[in-house]
Amino acid sequence: MRWQGLIQEYKRFLPINENTPFLTLNEGNTPLISLQNLSKKWGVDLHVKVEGANPTGSFKDRGMVMAVAKAVEDGSKSIICASTGNTSASAAAYAARAGLRCIIVIPNGKIALGKLAQAMMYGAEIFSIEGNFDEALRMVRKISEQEPITLVNSVNPYRLEGQKTAAFEICDQLGEAPEVLAIPVGNAGNISAYWKGFKEYAIKKGTTLPKMYGFEAEGAAAIVNNRVIENPETIATAIRIGNPASWPLASAAVEESNGLIDAVSDEEILQAYKWLAKDEGIFAEPASCASIAGIYKQIQKRSILPGTKIVAVLTGNGLKDPDIAINCSSIKPIYLPNDEKVVVNYIRGAVHH
């Protein structure tokens, strides 16, 4: 039977009841792809969970379908969130689908172009502030406490409930839990959701538990440095966050699973971004590639040993951020006139080169 979306497919695992609408954009059921070339090069068994294949191009759809369905159930007419881009795109899409008003607050100039385009097309009301994500989150939390509007950032517990389903899918697709789950960390909701999912599946299905390896961007590595970063900076704007809301949950996940949180530099992120695209044909946005950069680093530090079965979460689609792709690629189009002879001769020369 065709895939019905998360709420329908995982209703036994989710806090829903007869009043919860079966809202869906057919999110979930994303591919788990074996990285054969990088696995061979690095001597490990590496797979990626391609969350960019969700309807709005990121893992946020898993959490948002739940948060918005529960908002509808509760009679809410509007939702609000702060975002580095993906949450706002997802919130705007599900609000459109459910007929709710959607208000988003974003850090001006620090949102990838594709994400902004999505929020605009889905009809959100967009407030672009001269501040960062952490400041925007503080503002929307305050508004949601004072006004009749539902907060759909990952501090909304239904977000993590939806996002935990990715851990279920990984266990089913792999036939078992991986030994290591590698994941980018921004506001730290997703790592917390995956850990919850793995623990629930272990109880219900008897699967094992992976070690949780989270990776922050070096310029925004609050958890790694054990202090709030006032002015976080990274090319991976999705995880440009200095005071993660789910910090305690993420720390618990790492501790309970015997995992770790480490930082990766922008350079390492961009290197992984290119490897993934050129060696494997997979285009994920820069923040997503923190998981691949992190794995490479841990292999070198020998905290990941040869043969280890790893799943890295690729949280968002590469098309979200065309600017970074074009700026960091060494390939530039060669401009030719509209002249058959010139074009044929040029390409013939290139082929024989």
**Which helix (DSSP H) or strand (DSSP E) does residue 280 occupy?**
helix 266-280
Can you tell me the distance from the alpha carbon of 75 to that of 179, in angstroms, rounded to the nearest whole number? 42
Can you tell me the distance from the alpha carbon of 40 to that of 269, in angstroms, rounded to the nearest whole number? 20
- 152 contacts ligand F0G (rule: CB under 6 A): no
Binding span for ligand F0G by CB under 6 A among 22-30, 78-86, 140-148, 170-178: 78-86
Nearer Cβ to ligand F0G, position 5 or 244?
244
The residues, ordered by sequence, that sit 6+ positions from 5 with a Cβ below 8 Å of its Cβ are: 22, 23, 24, 25, 26, 27, 28, 65
* C-alpha torsion sign, points 263, 229, 60, 269: negative
CA angle 87/262/234 to nearest 5° reads 50
- 219 contacts ligand F0G (rule: CB under 6 A): no
56, 298, 308, 315: which one contacts ligand F0G (CB under 6 A)? Answer: 315
- 86 contacts ligand F0G (rule: CB under 6 A): yes
Shortest reach from residue 308's CB to ligand F0G, in Å: 22
Shortest reach from residue 316's CB to ligand F0G, in Å: 3
9, 27, 218, 285: which one contacts ligand F0G (CB under 6 A)? Answer: 285
184, 210, 259, 318: which one contacts ligand F0G (CB under 6 A)? Answer: 184
Shortest reach from residue 63's CB to ligand F0G, in Å: 8
Nearer Cβ to ligand F0G, position 195 or 201?
195
Instruction: List the structure tokens of 116.
Output: 């902004």
Can you tell me the distance from the alpha carbon of 238 to that of 320, in angstroms, rounded to the nearest whole number? 10
**Count of other CB atoms within 10 angstroms of residue 254:** 21
- 54 contacts ligand F0G (rule: CB under 6 A): no
- 137 contacts ligand F0G (rule: CB under 6 A): no
- 53 contacts ligand F0G (rule: CB under 6 A): no
CA angle 179/183/187 to nearest 5° reads 140
Shortest reach from residue 188's CB to ligand F0G, in Å: 5
Do the Cβ atoms of 316 and 86 come closer than 8 Å? Answer: yes
- 234 contacts ligand F0G (rule: CB under 6 A): no
Cα distances (angstroms) measured from residue 37 to each of 100, 275, 325 = 45, 10, 21
> Residue 132: left (phi > 0), alpha (psi -120 to 50), or beta?
beta
53, 180, 185, 264: which one contacts ligand F0G (CB under 6 A)? Answer: 185
20, 84, 132, 243: which one contacts ligand F0G (CB under 6 A)? Answer: 84
Considering only CA atoms, which of 24, 26, 104, 133 is closest in space to residue 68?
24
- 87 contacts ligand F0G (rule: CB under 6 A): yes
Shortest reach from residue 245's CB to ligand F0G, in Å: 8
194, 316, 318, 321: which one contacts ligand F0G (CB under 6 A)? Answer: 316
Chain residues in the site for ligand F0G (CB under 6 A): 58, 60, 83-87, 154, 184-190, 238-239, 285, 287-288, 315-316
